[in-house]
Structure 1
């Protein structure tokens, strides 16, 4: 693999790396995405073509370990890619079956184009060169296109080329899910529409989402069509000559019944592909749309880190583009790049929205609308466990019910185990945090006073109703939860899942309660009255919220913040012994379970839990939160806490390196770069051992962008001002970016070692107040400010 700021390249063909490359070469536009599989290769143990439409889910029941298990999956839709070729009368050519002389794949990040060049040796004398350009259109989200160019060397080659739309696909991209039913599509029908166009329609089995797909194939010779079972093909015979290129263009349209302003998805697809221009014109408008995105998401970071960050930004924009603003979708934790986590929405928006807020606030708002539309479902979930307010699911899909699986497979032991991660109720705090951060960055008071306030109120109500008074402690407690760590689901030997007083859960719950009280106080009186009437909110309940926000229990042990009550009583793990035995111990939970042990017995974390508090809140804000709760969190206590968990974390999540790098940038810069590198390379180097091939880790990718944007600059949008407290790392002391802030398009920041430059666009509506630890600056529209930072 080689990279530049504008390209991501793979040389040579390597079957063992193909799944990884397919994920990282995925092309998308926020509406749908297609994995970077080779068009001539079908799904097998090496290749996995997949096309996914945002928000397109289906629910099936499977029998696992003698139990019926229901799962909802993001559906792998019909494959539009197939285009295979062979010398007339010969075998179909693929890199797995033919002689490959050269092979190269390049993602052109600037233009959103995947280029592929392969040279096949045919008979010792002749060579067939195949060049392909692929795009998933960023201007028209329903279009995609594939151009294939054939050139012969050493003599002419008669070629048979076959293009297809394949409806015989399943969800089978994740090996550990293959015991589950993955046949989501039914009623597959195919047909033709004119001399050069074929179509395919189908629907999902239970959600009844109808899909229409149409393909127009043009070449330098007549194209004929044939219908097969679950598939429709188009065939053409060409002669490839030395020095002359024979070209086949395939333009595809995709619609589903979930689209806005839709009647018949099939007719919409047929009409759209008929009206679509040719490949060259599509490429022009596609490049223009990508150019506009890059201007809004400007990021200049030198070196290898800059190249990887640009790839991360590319994949964030392909998953959550401005087209997403028109859709009812959430943040899929693994993008639209594969089937891991079943395409579900977790809490990853906590790591994604802070970046989007400052570039594409309309997308952030749409993603928060996804949560608001499911507020009633969250209230039903709270009522089901006897609580008031809203209990958002740990895993969400189509309608907002809890989608967390009941069982999960440990590949090391082969055992199916109960899954208790639905007890991660802190997802509600993440949603509340995102509401507040979006409104602070965008200045969207209308959203805060309406849908935002409604979500905050119901999440705060849930936390207040979840807290129980402990006479012995003289404090409120929240019992029976699972924290962000995810390893610890129960106490050793307990017959019930759940832990008491997870510090992260309790502190963020206190923040939600106190923040919601302030938001309600600031509401215009008519709106506050209206909201109170609709929700039966009275002064007594508000007084209870205030009390809980000041008295929630935060456990400590040995002078550090405890992950949960009783954490300090757990055994210490022989970390070096396990590293010597296994090498990679990121998934320590699986290793221990395979040994008939449990990570519940040890002071061992998968990822940041307590330390997540230092990721969400600035040092001053975190001290203030603890002070409100009646605890002193001085610098020494926090440093001891950081040291304690750094030594006891296996980093079994791509988010772990990100959070630790963020915290260490302010605590111990010398170590911060190592963790930042871990977060940067998590997907491109597949550090989690095969997981990237199942889909990229969107939260980690967006989080690395935000680490540069907010983490190293200390950038906060708070109290109507931009707050900055830069901590440049020696390895990353020169970089630049722009943000969109409260009506200002393109406020530019440039950090050069110890100098900070801020430029406000001339067309801005109002001045911007900038506050640093040692000074305050007011910048008028058109102003540029250059500041020398203290050492």
Structure 2
């Protein structure tokens, strides 16, 4: 891998799923996996295409139960383009002789290039070069350019291009017992007058109509002319194909462009999806023009988001920024969609929205605040559903679900398949109520970074109040201790969903949940205080929010319980210290990787609930979100004596008891260790960089990338190592770069300043504001503040920090 180029040499069936996921091209509206255009879903290839927010719901019978699931739908494939030499079968990577094969993903321009040389059974060598894009300029356009060269022969070449709506949603092996037949054919056809082939399907339950229209254009002929390819239509239910024959001359390249328009009935400013697709396809410009506009759009994105870290990390960072922007672009801001945890790259987690946006928001706030706002609006529009969920469970306020899809109902499964044991087991992960905490934290961080008072007034304050209401209604008061408890929840750890032998699911007083709830209550109170008097009064009337409730917010924020054990270590939850210790060396020796320790133990007839073992960072998430000083202050406000030494002991305790079964875990550990053990922090950072490129989870990346970890890698070099903090109306920097990073550079947006350039090194910092008419801002480096006006640059000298404390 070179900077900005991800390359794969040769065809490796075992690695094809990973390559297809990492070679996905998209624009935030639609994305297509990097499968070969001649391939089909066959256990090796999976040419999936996904529209943001296009879900469908089906019922399946699983383990004797009727189970309803909503899936991000695998839409019709616009890719198919097959070819064959005279008298032979269609050529393919799997079933033909491949002399050479190479894929290159250009992340700077968003172009996937494929070069393959085939030899047919009679010795004819055909070279195929293809370039593919999903336009970042025009969200409804995609294109495939294919150049054929007959190297040692002349003669006809059959080419079949199609739009295939017969696909199913079956890209994840453990879901294949579930019904994935989401597409119902509606119409297909071909108009020889303009050369446009079209296809329309609808989703089975949600009734979304998906339309695609394609035109084939022949270029690069010996005459130098171009025009629609003459062809014969082959129409069947769910597929629209055009079969044509090219006349190849030895050594002379012939190029065919497949230009495609893609729409759904969820789109704005259209009358009907098929009409829109057909009209658009007929007017699509050449591949060269599409590419020029597409590359220019990507150049604008890179100017706003590039992070420069000299050396090897640059490669992974470029790839991860690229995939973040392919899922969450400016086009996404026009849609009513959330952030699927696995991007638009595969079907893992069924394309649902979890809490992972908590890890992605910092990246968006520094470069694309409008996109961050759109994700908050997705949550806002589903506030009524969250209120209903809380009421149905007997609570007040709004209870956001652990997994969300189209309408905000709880999509969390109640059973899941353990692929190690092959058994379906009960799933209590719907008890991860802390997703509401993530929503509230994102609302407040958005306001801190943008100063968008209008959003806070119109939407954010109400969301914060309703989330705070929920947590106060869930809390129970212990009069003897004058403390509030939160019982029957699950924390971010995700392993512990019940006490050993307990008759009910859930655990009590999860430290992360309890401490973060106190922050949510403060966010709600502060947001109310920021409203003008008349607006605050109007909101209180509309929500029937009395002084008694806001007084309760204040009391719970001051008297929430946090449990400690042995030497002042924060307990992950009440009773954690009474669980058995796991023999970590024995399990590692027996199984090698124990990232998914829960599955290993269940297969043995045991339960992870019995052990002091965490899937991922839980208590340490508090340091990640609040910072060390913020956590110490939060505990002090609750009346708990806790200092830096106790925090060090807490860090050590959980470092030894975490299996890192989630890619997010390494992000948090790298952050927490940055100030105490830079070498260990760097090792975790390297693991984050490898998370998807090296598929550290052992096969999961093929099912969709891990957007939270990708964003976390970027966040470590944009916020953690530079010590960047945007809270409190001051842009603060306190760099703590690892020895392996000599200097890093990035650009950020803060409040209304859209071009702040930052350079950080061990002995200097440089901050420059682009010229504009915006007011000055206050910046601080290592605690020294200065007012900086647009067009000014500040470069204070600084002393390199001492080596971090060892935890």
Hey, what's the Cα distance between the residues in 1 that align with 2:87 and 2:109? 38
Q: Tell me, yes or no, if structure 1 residue 277 matches structure 2 residue 285.
A: yes
Aligned to 2:208: 209
Cα RMSD, aligned residues only? 1.1
Which string of whole-angstrom CA distances, capped at 9 and with x for unpartnered residues, describes residues 114-163 of structure 1?
00000112357532110000000111101100000001212224211100
> Which residue of structure 2 aligns with residue 353 of structure 1?
361
Identify the match of residue 770 of structure 1 among 776, 779, 791.
779
CA contact (8 A) 2:185 2:237 kept: no
Report the 3-state secondary structure (helix = DSSP H, G, I; strand = E; otherwise coil) of the residue aligned with 2:28. Answer: coil
Q: Does 1:173 align with 2:181?
A: no
Q: 5+ unaligned residues in a row in structure 2: which ranges?
A: 222-228, 801-807
Matched residue SS, 1:134? strand
1:63 maps to 2:71: no
Alpha-carbon distance between aligned partners in 1 of 2:286 and 2:783, rounded to the nearest angstrom: 58
Paired residue for 1:447? Answer: 455
Partner of residue 585 from structure 2, selected from 576, 588, 596: 576
- The answer to whether the 8 Å contact 1:358/1:442 transfers is no
TM-fit CA distance, 1:471: 2.7
SS of the residue corresponding to residue 357 of structure 1 reads: helix
1:433 to 427, 437, 441: 441
Matches of residues 77-116 of structure 1 in structure 2 within 5 Å?
A: 77-116=75-114
What is the aligned partner in structure 2 of residue 332 from structure 1? 340
Aligned to 2:224: none
Corresponding residue for residue 726 of structure 2: 717
Q: Which residue of 1 aligns with 2:17?
A: 19
Distance 1:547 1:357 in 2: 32
1:519, CA displacement in angstroms? 1.5
CA distance in 2, matches of 1:787, 1:152: 63
**Are 1:28 and 2:36 an aligned pair?**
no
Cα distance between partner residues in 2 of 1:188 and 1:689: 39
- Tell me, yes or no, if the aligned pair for 2:165 and 2:185 is still in contact at 8 Å: no
Match of residue 610 from structure 1: 619
The answer to whether structure 1 residue 38 and structure 2 residue 14 are counterparts is no
For the Cα contact (< 8 Å) 2:558–2:637, is it kept in 1? yes
Tell me the alpha carbon deviations over residues 148-200 of structure 1, each in whole angstroms, 9 at most, x when there is no partner: 00012122242111000111000010000000000001134211133421100
- Deviation for aligned residue 1:700: 0.6
**Equivalent residues in 2 for 1:285-324 (5 A)?**
285-324=293-332
Query: How far apart, in 1, do the equivalents of 2:540 and 2:256 lie?
Result: 63
Q: Tell me how far apart the structure 2 counterparts of residues 607 and 240 of structure 1 sit (CA, whole Å).
A: 57
Structure 2 CA distance for aligned equivalents of residues 303 and 175 of structure 1: 37
Contact 1:735 1:752 in 2 (8 A): yes
Of 151, 157, 167, which residue of structure 2 is paired with 1:159? Answer: 157
> Which residue pairs with 1:780 in the alignment?
789
| 3-state SS in 1 of match to 2:258 | strand
**How do 1:140-151 and structure 2 match up within 5 A?**
140-151=138-149
1:511 aligned to 2:482?
no
Distance of 1:58 and 1:262 partners within structure 2: 22
Provide the TM-score with structure 2 as the length reference: 0.97
Q: Take 1:420 and 1:778, find their aligned partners in 2: how far apart are those partners?
A: 51
Is the CA contact (8 Å cut-off) linking 1:132 and 1:147 kept in structure 2? yes
**CA shift for structure 1 position 787:** 2.1
The alpha-carbon deviation at position 230 of structure 1 amounts to 2.1
User: Following TM superposition, by how much is the alpha carbon of 1:472 offset from its aligned partner in structure 2, in angstroms?
Assistant: 3.5
Shift of 1:328: 0.1
Q: Is the 8 Å Cα contact of residues 743 and 764 (structure 1) preserved in structure 2?
A: no
Distance (Å, rounded) in 1 between the aligned partners of 2:526 and 2:555: 14
Once residues 598 and 631 of structure 1 are traced to their aligned partners in structure 2, the CA distance between those partners, rounded to angstroms, is: 33
Which of 227, 238, 247 is the matching residue for 2:235? 227
For each residue in 1:75-107, what CA deviation from the matched residue of structure 2 results, as whole angstroms up to 9, or x when unmatched? 001111000111021011111111111111001
Q: Distance in 1 between matches of 2:292 and 2:83?
A: 28
Q: For 1:473 and 1:575, how far apart are their aligned partners in 2?
A: 37
Distance in 1, Cα, partners of 2:453 & 2:783: 30
Deviation at 1:229, TM superposition (A): 3.4
> Secondary structure of the equivalent of 1:47?
coil
Q: How does 1:619-634 map to 2 (within 5 A)?
A: 619-634=628-643
Return the offset for 1:633.
2.4
Q: What displacement does 1:743 show? A: 1.1
For residue 796 of structure 2, give the secondary structure of its aligned residue in structure 1.
strand
Counterpart check, 1:650 vs 2:659: yes
Shift of 1:4: 1.8
1:749 Cα offset (Å)? 0.5
Contact 2:764–2:796 under 8 Å retained in 1:
yes
Structure 1 counterpart of 2:384, from 350, 356, 376 = 376
8 Å CA contact 2:88–2:120 kept in 1: the answer is: no
The residue that corresponds to 1:742 in the other structure is 751
Which consecutive unaligned segments of at least 5 residues does structure 1 have? none
Counterpart Cα distance in 2 of 1:565 and 1:789: 44
Displacement, 1:367? 0.6
Aligned to 2:3: 5
Residues 655-676 of structure 1: CA deviation (Å, up to 9, x unaligned): 0011100111112111001111
Q: How does 1:393-404 map to 2 (within 5 A)?
A: 393-404=401-412
The partner residue of 1:343 within 351, 369, 375 is 351
Tell me if 1:197 matches 2:173.
Answer: no
Q: Secondary structure at the match of 1:487?
A: coil
| SS of equivalent residue, structure 1 residue 10 | strand
Greater shift in the superposed pair: 182-191 or 406-415: 182-191
How many angstroms apart in 2 are the aligned matches of 1:679 and 1:86?
43
5 Å-filtered alignment, 1:534-553, equals: 534-553=542-561
Counterpart check, 1:726 vs 2:725: no
Bigger mean CA offset, 769-778 vs 395-404? 769-778
Post-superposition Cα deviations, 1:186-232, rounded to whole Å, max 9, x if no partner, equal 13421113342110011011111111110111225522222123211
Worse overlay, 250-259 or 726-735: 726-735
Whole-Å separation in 1 of the counterparts to 2:616 and 2:551: 35
Instruction: Report what 1:476 is aligned to.
Output: 484
Q: Distance in 2 between matches of 1:388 and 1:194?
A: 61
Q: Distance in 1 between matches of 2:184 and 2:124?
A: 44
Q: 2:71–2:352: 8 Å Cα contact kept in structure 1?
A: yes
Q: Output the CA distance in 1 between the equivalents of 2:450 and 2:231.
A: 52
Conserved in 2, the CA contact under 8 Å of 1:744 and 1:764?
A: no
Distance 2:781 2:766 in 1: 13
Contact kept in structure 2, 1:467 and 1:476, CA below 8 Å: yes
* Residue matched to 1:531: 539
- C-alpha distance in 2, partners of 1:422/1:616? 22
Equivalent pair of 2:737/2:761 in contact (CA under 8 Å): no
CA shift digits 1:721-751 (9 cap, x unpaired):
1012211011123110000111111100011
CA distance in 1, matches of 2:121, 2:525: 77
1:662–1:672 Cα contact (<8 Å) kept: yes
Report the counterpart of residue 492 of structure 1 in structure 2: 500
SS in structure 1 of the partner of residue 331 of structure 2 = helix
Which TM-score applies when normalising by structure 1? 0.99
- Counterpart CA distance in 2 for 1:130 and 1:282 is 21
State the Cα distance separating 1:277 from its structure 2 match: 0.8
- 2:734–2:783 CA contact under 8 A, matched in 1: no
Post-superposition shift, 1:396?
A: 0.2
Aligned to 1:567: 576
For 1:732 and 1:194, locate their aligned partners in 2 and report how far apart those are by CA, in whole Å: 59
Give, in whole Å, the separation in 2 of the partners of 1:208 and 1:148: 34
8 Å contact 1:193–1:270 — kept in the other structure? no
How far apart in 2 are the matches of 1:130 and 1:244?
Answer: 12
